[in-house]
Amino acid sequence: MPVAKEQIRQIIADNNISSVTDVYTLLRDGFKDILQELMEAELDATLGYEKNQKGDMDSANKRNGHSLKKLKSQYGEFQIDVPRDRNGEFEPKIVPKYQRDVAGIEEKVISLYGRGMSTRDIHDQLQDLYGIEMSAEMVSKITDRILPEIREWQSRPLSPVYPFVFLDCIHYKVREDGRILSRAAYVVLGVTTEGYKEILSITVGANESSKFWMGMLGDLKNRGVQDVLFFCVDGLPGFKEAIGAVFPQAQIQRCVIHMLRNSFKFLFHINTKHL
């Protein structure tokens, strides 16, 4: 819910805010207070009554003070008072037991995974930076959660017409089973009829080949692409035949950037030959 300008001005005046640090301090303290109240409310729900409101309720369990817990968040470190019950039945959900970081652990794991780190590397990184003990198995379970989203994105329906589609490949090195291997990421970028760029597909293969590209073009057609006016490609042998087999009506334009690079290589070879 947005805060009115008058409220913001009042908050600034009441808290003597004069720097970005003051803003983060205010956010941290506010975040802490909200977490504290949420945990107190959780205990109320567990016990079945609010603090000092037990009355004649027949319940052997009751509040049993608090324990200090230090947390890390996007606003910095702070301490909260975790409420306890006499029977030890209370299990907080908002800040689970043993969790010391509330800044989005799963997002951190997925981000590290996206940078090519192994599950063991991620485990060690979380331990070193955040003091969080997370098994390699748990890291794998978290990273596996993004696989259905990737599949859904890869198979989403596409627009029937794209005036321009660019086909290119990015080559990179990966470590698998202790070996360094070459991989190729096939990237399809389309320009919509409204003029917006859209990544249509990214698929990883062992190496770039016209046969693999033909399979990707067939996938585009299966996902709803009916017509492409121009394909912009490099000089990969068999590209023209692959495109013609799937989209015979499309025009093919050799990528100017690739043509320039190839020309520069040729010129450089001539110049060095005559030195």
Residues 6+ apart with CB under 8 A from 260: none
Nearest one of 232, 165, 230, 174 to 207, comparing CA atoms: 174
Mean of the per-residue pLDDT values of the chain: 76
What's the confidence (pLDDT) of residue 157?
Answer: 92
pLDDT, mean of residues 172-193: 81
| Confidence at 225, pLDDT banded by 50, 70, 90 | very high
DSSP 16: T
Please tell me the least confidently modeled range out of 45-59, 162-176, 214-228: 45-59
Residue 151 has pLDDT above 70, yes or no: yes
**Cα 118 to Cα 110, 121, 153, distances in angstroms:** 11, 5, 24
pLDDT band per the 50, 70, 90 thresholds, residue 119: low
The DSSP letter of residue 25 is H
| pTM for the full predicted model | 0.48
Question: 3-class SS at 181?
Answer: strand
d(CA 271, CA 275): 6
Percent of the chain with pLDDT over 70: 68
**85 Cβ contact partners less than 8 Å away, ≥ 6 residues apart:** 43, 46, 47, 61, 62, 63, 64
Per-residue confidence (pLDDT) for residue 255, from 0 to 100:
61
pLDDT tens column, 29-48: 877 887 787 788 888 888 87
Q: What is the pLDDT of residue 1?
A: 45
- Among 211, 216, 220, 218, smallest CA distance to 241 is for 211
pLDDT at 57 over 70: no
What pLDDT is stored for residue 111 in this prediction?
Answer: 64
